[in-house]
């Protein structure tokens, strides 16, 4: 658990490679790390679920709804992570990210496209100059069941292709066995391999079983230098849920309060409608704060939600309903 230097992101506060001075003692050794993580306040299960349910009932007026839809579109990471991915499929995905609704060109661009490392160069070429970021999954996604050497090679392949972001998965088996130092060291090693790319740390919250584990995993990822904490790979169920996202938003809010550093959150999987997306935006504002209502600090890993956001945007601007036949599939 050795310390290493941080990598700066121009114009934004970078995530450090290791914990700031205020939390350095927490990672001095395995015992200290375990003591810190198990010393975190337990999550009030009933309280977090009730709060999430309550915030989900908030209504938004028409003008605010259009602004929320545009913000949500700008936060979407369009993703294709299938064995049958082709260069053509990736290029089509990139074109949709750059111009989500070709008939209404003032529609915001998506935040990023996310692909496997071997398709990253195709995506980088296709979105060049558009402002859309390219992310690549790495570290033996989605299971994470490989050696550290393979995981780092996976990360290096993505970085050399020119990606802006790397999405890694933690070793959930090691975490659930209480081998926190192993998980911490892997995250830090991948962070080092990312160079200038931002690191999203996927917790796969559906496999962590409890909110307390989600809180511990969130703090572990933050301590190790993750730029984002992300709920899920999207490959298992349950994926993102509002209560889990509340726990993670509270973690980054507490992190900022203690360290002065802001980190990002990405729920992924299971967010399918504009109504779902707006519920998450309400949670962001109420739990973390308005500072997180920005694509740099909050993302949706939910490709399927984009079409519904586009339909709802057309409805808001034209006054009549638009069905799915009027938007592109990819």
Catalytically active residues are: 167, 230, 266
CB 303 within 8 A of CB 63: no
- Residue 143 DSSP SS3: coil
Alpha-carbon distances of 142 from 68, 106, 131, 180, 243, rounded to whole Å: 31, 35, 27, 20, 23
The SS3 assignment for 12 reads: strand
> For residue 200, which of 132, 299, 109 has the smallest C-alpha distance?
299
Per DSSP, 165 falls in state E
For residues 54 and 184, give the distance between their C-alpha atoms in angstroms, rounded to a whole number.
35
Residue 1 has what DSSP assignment? -
Q: What span, in angstroms and rounded, lies between the C-alpha atoms of 37 and 35?
A: 6
Q: Are 64 and 98 in contact (CB under 8 A)?
A: no
CB 202, CB 190: distance < 8 Å? no
Q: What is the DSSP letter of 142?
A: T
Return the HEC string of 191-235.
Answer: HHHHCCCEEEEECCHHHCCCHHHHHHHHHHHHHCCCCEEECCCCC
Two tokens, residue 278: 């707006």
Q: 223 with 186: CB under 8 angstroms?
A: no
């Amino acid at each position: 658990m050795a310390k290493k230097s941080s990598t700066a992101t121009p114009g934004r506060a970078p995530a450090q490679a290791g914990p700031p001075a205020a939390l350095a003692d927490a990672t001095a050794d395995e015992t200290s790390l375990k003591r810190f993580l198990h010393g975190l306040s337990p999550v009030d299960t009933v309280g977090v679920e009730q709060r999430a349910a309550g915030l989900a009932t908030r209504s938004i007026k028409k003008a605010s709804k259009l602004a929320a839809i545009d913000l949500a579109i700008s936060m979407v990471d369009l993703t294709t992570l299938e064995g049958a991915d082709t260069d053509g499929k990736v290029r089509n995905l990139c074109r949709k990210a750059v111009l989500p609704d070709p008939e209404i060109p003032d529609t915001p661009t998506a935040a990023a496209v996310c692909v496997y490392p071997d398709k990253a160069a195709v995506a980088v070429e296709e979105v060049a100059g558009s402002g859309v970021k390219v992310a690549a999954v790495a570290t033996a996604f989605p299971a994470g069941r490989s050696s550290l050497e393979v995981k780092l090679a996976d990360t290096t392949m993505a970085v050399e292709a020119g990606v802006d972001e790397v999405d890694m998965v933690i070793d959930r088996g090691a975490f659930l066995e209480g081998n926190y130092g192993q998980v911490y060291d892997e995250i830090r090693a991948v962070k080092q391999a990312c160079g200038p790319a931002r690191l999203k740390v996927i917790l796969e919250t559906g496999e962590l079983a409890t909110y307390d584990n989600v809180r511990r995993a969130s703090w572990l990822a933050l301590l190790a230098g993750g730029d984002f904490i992300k709920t899920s790979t999207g490959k298992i169920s349950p994926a993102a849920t509002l209560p889990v996202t509340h726990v993670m938003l509270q973690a980054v809010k507490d992190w900022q309060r203690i360290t002065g550093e802001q980190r990002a959150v990405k729920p992924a999987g299971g967010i399918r409608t504009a109504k779902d997306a707006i519920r998450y935006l309400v949670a962001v504002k109420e739990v973390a704060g308005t500072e997180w209502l920005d694509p740099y600090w909050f993302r949706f890993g939910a490709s399927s939600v984009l079409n519904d956001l586009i339909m709802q945007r057309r409805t808001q601007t034209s006054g009549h309903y638009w069905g799915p036949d009027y938007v592109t599939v990819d």
